[in-house]
Amino acid sequence: MFPRLSCRAAQRIYLGMRALSILGPLLILPILLAVSASGPALAQQKHAPAPAKPAPTASSTPKSLGKFEDWTAAIHQEGGQKVCYAFTRAQNSTPAIPGRGDVVLTVTQRSTGRDAVALTAGFTYAPGVEVMVQVDQTGHPFYTAQRSAFSRQGPAAVGAMKTGRTVIARSPGPNKTQVVDTFSLKGFPQAYGVIVKECPPSR
């Protein structure tokens, strides 16, 4: 089983990504991280739009844990608990989509939730579509909700990422085009080690 997103949670992705270009990834990615930990619900179920999420307070403002080649590690507080994450932006995306937002790949660690892998697409997915994420020669299916995609098997994806060189995400894009985003894995093992150390699993 894997976590599903409510439409309220999906709306938080949309609101967070709209602000990404203004506030920067360290400030907005925690909104996405909170969404990936949402409780079970149908991702595409119709609900009234959720109210805008307030801007993070000083106590929840993310803090960088370091830059590791193409990856950045960071930490923030969520409900009094530490959340650690590593992220990178796409190095190459085809075709070009006018007005597309940032394309970000994120791996998150919580004391009670491990190896959550999320892709922020920069556009809204059609309902019910799937993204195939390839780490070197191994494919990993991601389910979608609004503007993000989430790994069905996070630990397996992370295991491949620790020894891989590139991640290639093939997404159903706007106007039935296939969108291909390529991410570097240089520095991922080091960034991953930092977030695991900073946010170890609960005992």
| pLDDT over threshold 70, residue 77 | yes
> Residue 179, Cα to own-chain centre: how many angstroms?
17
pLDDT at position 107: 98
Closest by CA position to 148, among listed 91, 106, 87 = 106
- Mean pLDDT computed over 134-147: 95
Closest by CA position to 135, among listed 114, 157, 120 = 157
Query: 11 CB contacts (<8 Å, ≥6 apart)?
Result: 49, 50, 146
Whole-angstrom distance, CA of residue 165 vs CA of residue 186: 7
Whole-angstrom distance, CA of residue 7 vs CA of residue 157: 25
CA distances (Å), 179 to each of 90, 92, 122, in order?
Answer: 12, 11, 11
Going across the sheet that includes 166-172, the strands are: 63-68, 71-78, 81-89, 104-109, 116-120, 148-151, 138-145, 130-135, 166-172, 178-184, 92-94
pLDDT at position 88: 98
Condensed to tens digits (0 to 9), the pLDDT of residues 170-180 reads: 999 998 899 99
Can you tell me which residue has the tokens 């997915």?
Answer: 125
> Contact at 8 Å (CB) between 185 and 165?
yes
The structure's pTM equals 0.74
Catalogue all structural domains in the chain, each as residue range(s) with its CATH number: 7-198 (2.60.40.1880)
Query: Partners of 141 in the beta sheet?
Result: 132
37 pLDDT band, cuts 50/70/90, is low
